[in-house]
Structure 1
């Protein structure tokens, strides 16, 4: 999509008009116009209107300016919500003793809705809900018996914010929200939420490429699991497998995945909350596939492909409330990655087809990162002359652009 600076320069060049001449027409100095044309500074609407007339653009410049101005306004609004949410997480982290309020309506619905919704709207909803909880915490308008419940509610909403910011690509803000969730879990004495927070902090560290620290978070989280309550141990062991695979340890990564299977067999009580805070069988297969693609192919790639296919099938045939659309799309990318490792370029291209058709607003940060890796693999010299590989790389690059 052509930007305002690009269109302004192209129209000026087509008209054979110098920068100085156009500067006179829009009543700005040449340096300012150069900044507008290079994108260093946004142009005022007045410049867009005068340049549109001077270059006979028939309203095209003004239309592009209006579109970009709306995008800037939306970005500013998102920034304000993020800043306010982050400030509240810092307050929750810093409070030495939170008072308690009742559980907030909507936490469970938000946890389920997150799996099939873009992160931006979910961030907004979690921020509003947590604001209500936070006000009751600060004011003390609650019953003493609700103490633990409100800690857990505030902690889970902080967890939703953590995931939303990570999906939007900001791991530092995500970690601060996760830290707030951990403090709330600590005050509530909720081992299940504490284990979830440990797994989420590990996920954030893996996003940052710090697999040593990610492994520390996982192993610290094991103190909160046991007695067959919930899927916390299975999630942590899958996180451990991701760390070990990225550190190049195939044997122990596979052992960790086997340990996750054993942990699931020991479950006697389900998770307290589903959706974002659950760890379905499909999610477990997804984690296995996303772990083993970081090894050297062969048997690891074969298992990764099987696990990714299992995850996709389970999500597509299972309950709607357990279906995580972003993870399902990533599973297609992990399947494609494993197939490239197995030299199945045609199969990889087939796996990527559903993801390549996504609109821009559904391309979360994980999708962009993982698709870029597939493009790099298909650009290797061994695939020179392979038309399918070249076409797939071109499609991935177009999606990123």
Structure 2
């Protein structure tokens, strides 16, 4: 419960109008109304005076303090996002990047991203990249280190693109991705450029721009070196997501099969792991997340199977190797497929780990995809189903967790 809802409930319980509470706490009733509706943030004085006036025994003050802590965390994240964008713009504006060294923390950040929330990773990657830029501007590098540091700056920009997208800011994500692409080209690193094109396609899919997403995939495919890393399989899985969203079941399944064949041809591992590696588990996750956009039936059955396989694989891994956000999303994708198959009880079981997530663990994708499950359960098809009603209400409650 938030301070706003707690204040409103306690005012109702005391039988007070806004005007009545206004007289007791000496705040304008319009201000109180905006606080209760979430349009304005409360202040401590209102919390303390309302707590006394409504005989809340300190409960309202505690709710205020909890909300204030969240607001401070969100403010820090916004500040880090703004700082990271400023660095990206500086990076893009440099006509001829001179880079010093591959930063020691790049690989560690790429691996840690799988298990850390996006906000602290945003701050961490921005700090790492700021150091790269400082070295760049001071010309503290050797003549043969330039390409390596282009790659370091590009990968850090890629981490920032993912963090911004997970925080729901696709415009910032695109700016970071463009910087990463520029660095990849400066370095002549086609592996990184293929990864960036896949990420740009992901951002376009987040925005629902599937034609643009396909363009990124097809541009990226021009730079693929067959058998070198998992970039080709990742691009193909992105293409399958686009085709599924565009309603082409046959082509989506064919491309997913082609992605499996591309993985079998890999003879040279990815240069860096974590966020920059497209594991077999992630590939199964992509298959599940693609086919849920079709009309159910065999597509939904394959989606449910692939999502469950990804979940099972992640749960058998050491904690540091699990991609927690993707694992959580796989639960939602499995639930979506099961709703398409009219298995509401199975969908509720799949969603169970998601329904208890605290707000700070709910990346933007979780809200978007869970909302879709709730919308599906609101259709006439599920009228009269208590299980559907329960699950729909539980999903709605996620936003106030």
**TM-score of the superposition, structure 1-length normalised?**
0.93
Give RMSD over aligned pairs. 2.1
1:380-391 map, 5 Å: 380-391=379-390
Kindly state the Cα deviation for residue 27 of structure 1 after the two structures are TM-superposed.
Answer: 4.8
1:165-184 paired onto structure 2 within 5 Å? 165-184=164-183
Aligned: 1:89 with 2:95: no
Q: Report how far residue 165 of structure 1 moved.
A: 1.1
Deviations 1:121-156 (A, max 9, x none): 111111111111111111111112211111111111
Shift of 1:94: 2.1
How far 1:345 sits from its partner (Å)? 2.3
In the alignment, the residues of structure 1 paired with residue 283 and residue 72 of structure 2 have an alpha-carbon distance, to the nearest angstrom, of: 40
Residue in 1 aligned with 2:156?
A: 157
Q: 1:310 to 1:7 in 2, by over 3 A?
A: closer
Structure 1 unmatched runs, 5+? none
Residue by residue over 1:222-244, the C-alpha shift from the partner in whole angstroms, topping out at 9 and shown as x without a partner, is 11112311001010000000001
C-alpha contact 1:282 1:315 (8 A) present in aligned 2 = yes
Structure 1 partner of 2:296: 297
Q: Paired residue for 2:348?
A: 349
Mapping of residues 2-401 of structure 1, within 5 Å: 2-4=2-4, 6-12=5-11, 14-15=13-14, 19=18, 23=22, 26-29=25-28, 31-36=30-35, 38-318=37-317, 320-401=319-400
After superposition, the C-alpha distances for 1:295-314 in whole angstroms (9 at most, x for unaligned) are 11122122212222222222
Give the drift of 1:10.
4.6
Post-superposition offset of 1:32: 4.6
Asked if structure 2 preserves the Cα contact closer than 8 Å seen for 1:280 and 1:322, the reply is: no
8 Å contact from structure 1 (residues 202, 215) kept in 2? yes
User: Which range moved further: 97-106 or 317-326?
Assistant: 317-326
Q: Are residues 136 and 58 of structure 1, via their aligned partners in 2, closer, same or farther at CA, if it must alter by over 3 Å?
A: same
Cα deviation 1:61-84 (Å, max 9, x = unaligned): 333333333332222221111100
CA contact (8 A) 2:47 2:61 kept: yes
Distance 1:344 1:131 in 2: 50
SS of the equivalent of 1:328 reads helix
Structure 2 CA distance for partners of 1:135 and 1:219, relative to 1, 3 Å: same
How much does 1:321 deviate? Answer: 4.8
1:187, distance to aligned residue in structure 2 (A): 0.7
| 3-state SS of paired residue (2:57) | coil
Q: How far apart are the structure 1 equivalents of 2:231 and 2:192? A: 9
**Cα distance in 2, alignment partners of residues 191 and 20 from structure 1:** 65
Separation of aligned partners in 1, 2:283 and 2:156: 23
Contact 1:36–1:42 (8 Å) recurs in 2: yes
In structure 1, distance between residues paired with 2:169 and 2:299: 30
Deviations 1:187-233 (A, max 9, x none): 11100000000000000000000100000010000111123110010
Deviates further, 38-47 or 217-226: 38-47
When normalised by structure 2's length, the TM-score is 0.93
User: Taking structure 1 as reference, are residues 74 and 351 closer, same or farther at Cα in structure 2, changes over 3 Å only?
Assistant: closer
Offset at 1:279?
0.4
Report the more deviating stretch, 19-28 or 334-343.
19-28
Distance (Å, rounded) in 1 between the aligned partners of 2:8 and 2:345: 42
Question: The residue matched to 2:232 in structure 1 has which SS?
Answer: helix
Greater mean alpha carbon deviation, residues 195-204 or residues 32-41 = 32-41
Distance in 1, Cα, partners of 2:269 & 2:184: 19
CA pair 321-9 structure 1, distance change in 2 beyond 3 A: closer
Contact 1:289 1:334 (8 Å CA) reproduced? yes
Contact 1:100–1:144 (Cα < 8 Å) also in 2: no
